[in-house]
Amino acid sequence: MVLIFCTFLITFMMAVTFVPAEKAKAAAGSVVSQNGQLRVSGSNLVNQAGQTIQLKGMSSHGTQWFGQYVNYDSMKWLRDNWGMNVFRPAMFTQDGGYINDPSQKNKVKEAVQAAIDLGIYVIIDWHVLGEKDPNIYKEQAKGFFREMATLYKDYPNVIYEICNEPNGYATWNGHIKPYAEEVIPVIRSIAPNNIIIVGTGTWSQDVHDAADNPLSYSNIMYTTHFYAGTHGQLLRDRIDYARSKGVAVFITEWGTSDASGDGGPFLAESQQWMDYLTNRQLSWVNWSLCDKTEASAALAPGASPYGGWSDAQLTASGKFVRDRMKAGSTPPGDGIVSGKTYKLVNVGSGKALDVNAAGTADGSNVQIWDDNGTGAQQWVITDVGGGLYKVINTNSNKGLDVAGTVNGSNVQIWSYGGGLNQKWSIVSVGGGSYKLIAGHNGRALDVNAGGTANGTNVQIWDDNGTNAQKWNLYKLN
């Protein structure tokens, strides 16, 4: 009996612990479940369907200094309120990092597990900096990435960044490429498909050198880092050159400051970079999620480690990055779930669909405004049959309503009466965005003249496919 029971127990334990199919399953309705295993196609990062995808996210500061901000709650807030779809825990090698304190990898593991649970992508960053040459700790890197690949080989969420910023005497041909040719096979022998990102010389600014002598492996991307107050057109030209040679570039670190991390912020120059990256659909990660007293920090001193940040708890850089992340980000929600509450964020402006002055009277105007989390920007979307939905403002309990039928007809709130001018078809336009088409005339919910300023009016207009008519829907409950 004892032998039979033990045999049964062992069999049962194997059955409940060995579940690779479930292990690799992405969170339902998430960015990862929608896009799956990413790959490189030419100079583009594409999803499982071969469509170009732009990831936007945050990097932590060094986990040894600001690791308190690397946790599930902060990452969930960034996903749900900023539109983040990729996170990068920055594990330094030196300066109290992994080489001196191998337990720093536990913070990386925490971030990876949170990303898996949240259904977003995550970059495991071997943060080469002070040592200049990645070969200094090459054997430790191989051991670290062997462990990470073994743990996460079944997860499409995971991206590997094998050397953050080689610098000083470390050149692509003499140091970085030979290093990569030893580290990449360690990962590939275990995780054959995940994206691997390789740093370039001069603090990851010499991407043109890598393009002239690229690695021979598939699904490789090359790093460029910029700080808006220091780096400009010359670096953009290098990226364009590299892409013209057929290599893919990922901006795994950029800041609104100068290269010191502290001058600025330089928001006009940052916007130039944002426009450039958006036009080319290049993925980016901002430096950094911390409350350090420096211009590039996203958080004001003393901000909570767990999200829930008001504007007062964000720096100028943090507010800028949040708004740019929202604009055109792939929403993390579950599609349209009838009866749930959503905020609608316009792709062109990054601003939320809003009732002017939180009005509750019939005829209160609808506009766009900075996302502020109030009921004036929250809408219950309910299936009313025939492929149509009613959209009810939670603050007023009144419906999203069109006052006319022609181009430019105003959008307002009004007591819901079930007319077709208060019913909308909600149609996916790809990339996680939607258009809302008025039920009575087939025209689209539109931001007047593609405006981006607070208070810009919302109207209906012929469906034209512009970002003024694309909306990201974020489920709030």
Q: Any idea which residues carry the catalytic annotation? A: 165, 253
CB within 8 Å of 409: residues ≥ 6 apart: 402, 403, 443, 459, 460
What's at 221, amino acid-wise? M
Q: Please, are residues 60 and 70 in contact by the beta-carbon 8 Å criterion?
A: yes
Decide: 422 and 390 in contact? Cβ < 8 Å: yes
**Distance from C-alpha of 378 to C-alpha of 361, rounded to nearest angstrom:** 16
d(CA 474, CA 472): 6
- The residues pairing with 214 across neighbouring beta strands, listed in sequence order, are none
Amino acid making up residue 86: V
Q: Round to whole Å and give the CA distance between 57 and 424.
A: 32
Instruction: Give CA–CA dist 176/227, Å, rounded.
Output: 22
Residue appearing with tokens 């939905």: 389
- Measure the CA–CA gap between 241 and 211, rounded to whole angstroms: 8
Q: Within 10 Å of residue 52's Cβ, how many Cβ atoms?
A: 16
The C-alpha atoms of residue 431 and residue 80 are separated, in whole angstroms, by 16
Work out the angle between the directed axes of helices 138-152 and 105-118 (0-180°, nearest 10): 30
For the record, the structure tokens of 456 come out as 């810009």
- Written as six digits, the tokens of 12 are 């049962």
Structure tokens at 318: 């943090």
Q: Taking a C-beta distance cutoff of 8 angstroms, is the pair 263, 65 a contact?
A: no
